[in-house]
Amino acid sequence: MASEAEKTFQRFAVFGESSSSGTEMNNKNFSKLCKDCGIMDGKTVTSTDVDIVFSKVKAKNARTITFQQFQEAMKELGQKRFKGKNPDEALEDIYKLMEGKDPATTGVTKTTTVGGVSRLTDTSKYTGTHKERFDESGKGKGIAGREDMTDNSGYVSGYKGAGTYDKKGSK
């Protein structure tokens, strides 16, 4: 059962922390784990309780906890969340709540294309020089669409027989 809890611990430990290896968890992610897994219910276990337990189990000068310290914290929260049960049963119930949970991204802002935005970003409606910056599918051409590419062949732009000089001279 602890291996499943360890996997959940690692998933939450790296959430939002690009430099994290998944072996240590900060207070923000610990609170998120408790909230997302339903350990923090708002009545018997509040966010304040979670913060206090985190501070209790971490080393004095540390900002993160290891999995062993996490297990101690879960024992304390389990006794608070499931009153009347013995500590081992409470810990088992906490691990059941955590099983297979991933960090949720609820409340994340979605991109919208309301009103004028869709009209402004539709490349098929572009006119003039802006039209030249995109191909038929609407994909940008990159630098070729932004700059006039000069022809360094040595011929003037209107000359029809460009590239035929060598053929005439060899006869």
Residue whose tokens read 């430099």: 19
User: What pLDDT band is residue 171 in, cutting at 50, 70 and 90?
Assistant: low
Q: In whole angstroms, give the CA distance from residue 96 to residue 5.
A: 9
Q: Which domain holds residue 122?
A: 115-145
119 in the same domain as 43: no
How far apart, in Å, are the Cα atoms of 10 and each of 73, 84, 110?
16, 30, 27
34 in the same domain as 3: yes
Residue whose tokens read 């990159």: 142
Residue 162 domain-assigned (yes or no): no
For 41-96, what is each residue's pLDDT tens digit? Answer: 888 888 899 999 999 999 889 899 998 998 889 888 888 888 888 888 888 888 88
User: What pLDDT band is residue 37 in, cutting at 50, 70 and 90?
Assistant: confident
Residue 53 domain-assigned (yes or no): yes
1 in the same domain as 71: yes
53 in the same domain as 20: yes
Higher pLDDT, 93 or 170: 93
Residue 37 domain-assigned (yes or no): yes
Number of other CB atoms surrounding residue 12 within 10 Å: 28
Burial class for 91, CB neighbours closer than 10 Å (0-12, 13-18, 19+): buried
Contact by Cβ (8 Å): 121, 81: no
**Global pTM exceeds 0.75:** no
Amino acid at 129: T
Q: In whole angstroms, give the CA distance from residue 50 to residue 81.
A: 11
Domains contained in the chain, number: 2
136 in the same domain as 65: no
70 in the same domain as 9: yes
Mean pLDDT of the chain: 80
Best CA proximity match to 94, nearest among 40, 24, 55, 44: 40
Contact by Cβ (8 Å): 67, 6: yes
